[in-house]
Amino acid sequence: MREIRIKPLTRQAFAPFGDVIAVEGAHSFAINHGMCTRYHDLAKVETTGVNARTLISLLHGKPYELPLRLDMVERHPLGSQAFVPLSSNPFLVVAAHQQENGPGDPLAFLTAPGQGVNIHRNVWHGILTPLHAESTLVVIDRGGDGINLEEHFYAEPFLIG
């Protein structure tokens, strides 16, 4: 089994796969008579295809233990998928570059408290993987007609830890 080391989630490291949704380093300005700060334009929500629309949902996930066996990644060809935590619990973000015959070797990132991600349209990624405790996240993704899920199973699994 091949091993994947977990990296901290940073805007630069995750840029090929999507956007980091976080206050740190974000463009911001005061609104509501100076009583609120808006961290502006943190992610590009993508929807394409017939009757495409943006959905906002909640996901409540049970925690995974590390090391984690990874044998599958998925992608959404018709829209991006953003995950924004409602707690400070970390979650694992797995992403892989597209290669000639499917996804390449995955990379694993660990979110810091308050960080979320927006995975760009058609980017291979792992499933929602909360760590340490049950976690609720807002998911912003695409609804509408068409098949918006592809799965790829690796011939040899990876061990993330």
Residues whose CB is less than 8 angstroms from the CB of residue 96 and which lie 6 or more positions away in sequence, other chains included: 73, 103, 104, 105, 106, 107, 124, 125
SS3 120: coil
- CA–CA separation, 127 and 96 (whole Å): 12
Note the pLDDT of residue 59.
Answer: 97
For domain 2-160, give the CATH number.
2.60.120.480
Note the pLDDT of residue 77.
Answer: 97
> Burial, 42: exposed, middle or buried (Cβ in 10 Å; 0-12, 13-18, 19+)?
middle
For the chain, 161 residues long, give each residue's pLDDT as a single digit of tens: 999 999 999 999 999 999 999 999 999 999 999 999 999 999 999 999 999 999 999 999 999 999 999 999 999 999 999 999 999 999 999 999 999 999 999 999 999 999 999 999 999 999 999 999 999 999 999 999 999 999 999 999 999 99
Domain range list for the chain: 2-160
- Please provide the DSSP assignment of 26-46 as one string: --EEEETTTTEEEE-------
Q: What residues are paired with 159 via a beta bridge?
A: 3, 69
Q: Which residues of 100-118 are buried (b: 16+ CB within 10 A; e: fewer)?
A: eeebeebbbbbbeeebbbb
Note the pLDDT of residue 97.
Answer: 98
SS3 94: strand
SS3 76: coil
AA identity, residue 47? T
Model pTM? 0.94
As a whole number of Å, the end-to-end CA separation of the chain is 12
Note the pLDDT of residue 62.
Answer: 97
